Structure 1
Amino acid sequence: MSTINLNTQCLCKKVSINVAEAKPHIDSCHCAICRKWAGGPLLAIDCGTNVNFEGEDHIKVYNSSEWAERGFCNQCGTHLFYRLKEANQYIMPAGLFDSLDHLDSAEFTTQIFIDEKPAYYDFANQTKMMTGEEVFAAYSQE
């Protein structure tokens, strides 16, 4: 699978991010924690492990579970990442990256924790759907 390079900044421009090897597909998480954090389903891109930050003194991290943490700018509140601790893998909100808006190859491919999705919304896109149990089974094998 090919990867793409992405660059962005938070709203106040105190934090800059360079992603060297993002996977060019968008996924959505419907778990209760992501919905609370994002204010709705989290639309995100897998940015892998090769992520560099400038302005790290402005990044605040919240340990949201035993296996993951979430980072945000302590000045403007921009949500910056969901990081899997053991793999050092960054999952980042797709909305951070303006360049994705114009990238024809970026596709919405997978929805996870579909069993936690509330009934008041549905995406029209045809995607792979995974329950929480399926997500934990698939990623615990990796």
Structure 2
Amino acid sequence: MTAPGEKTGGCHCGAVRFTARDVPDTASICHCKMCRRWTGSALVGVSLPEGNVTWEGEAHIKTLQSTRWAERAWCQRCGSHLWFRVTLASAFSGEVEIPLGLFDEPDGFVVTSEIYIDKKPDAYAFDGADTRTQMTRAECVAKFSVLGEDEAE
């Protein structure tokens, strides 16, 4: 049983599980090329302070420094994506972005932002686009100076 504000989840095969505390009810969507290639679609995720997540099955977690400023993690048994994390010391470090589909109970979240909107393939769209913050690639690069012009297309 989980406490109020706590959610559990895990990978497809169950080798990696997590418990997250003080989980917000907000989620975000990223359409950058890296996220699209990583997920096969858009990354729909929930941001949490790293210290609010406890992982089980850590022996099955693999990470890749996917850019000079961030890493991605996955379960080495089933390949489920586990998190995206900024590793470069900046205003954006200290949090993990966990894909929404990993949560045992993925309902109750509201998407409040959608980034790299100009890179979104025209084959899909998410409801409620007019109710959330949307940013283009250029706006993201300008706001998040940790991004290089050559990264996060």
Question: Is the counterpart of residue 68 in structure 1 residue 73 in structure 2?
Answer: no
Question: Is the counterpart of residue 138 in structure 1 residue 143 in structure 2?
Answer: yes
2:150 counterpart residue number: none
Give deviations 1:37-93, integer Å, cap 9, x for gaps. Answer: 111111111122222211111001011111110000000111100011131310010
Aligned pair count reads: 136
Instruction: Supply the AA of the counterpart residue of 2:99.
Output: P
1:138 Cα deviation after fit: 3.2
1:57 counterpart residue number: 59
Aligned residues: CA RMSD: 1.9
Higher alpha-carbon deviation: 124-133 or 108-117: 124-133
1:110 counterpart residue number: 113
Q: Structure 2 stretches of 5 or more lacking a match?
A: 147-153
TM-score normalised by L of structure 2: 0.80
2:85 counterpart residue number: 83
**More strand, by proportion:** 1
Give deviations 1:8-43, integer Å, cap 9, x for gaps. Answer: 121211111121233211110000110111111111
- Aligned partners of 1:14 and 1:55 also within 8 Å: yes
- Structure 1 consecutive aligned stretches of length 4 or more whose deviation exceeds 3 Å: 136-141
TM-score normalised by L of structure 1: 0.86
Instruction: Supply the AA of the counterpart residue of 2:120.
Output: K
- Aligned partners of 1:45 and 1:93 also within 8 Å: yes
Q: Structure 1 stretches of 5 or more lacking a match?
A: none
Higher alpha-carbon deviation: 66-75 or 128-137: 128-137
% identical aligned pairs: 35
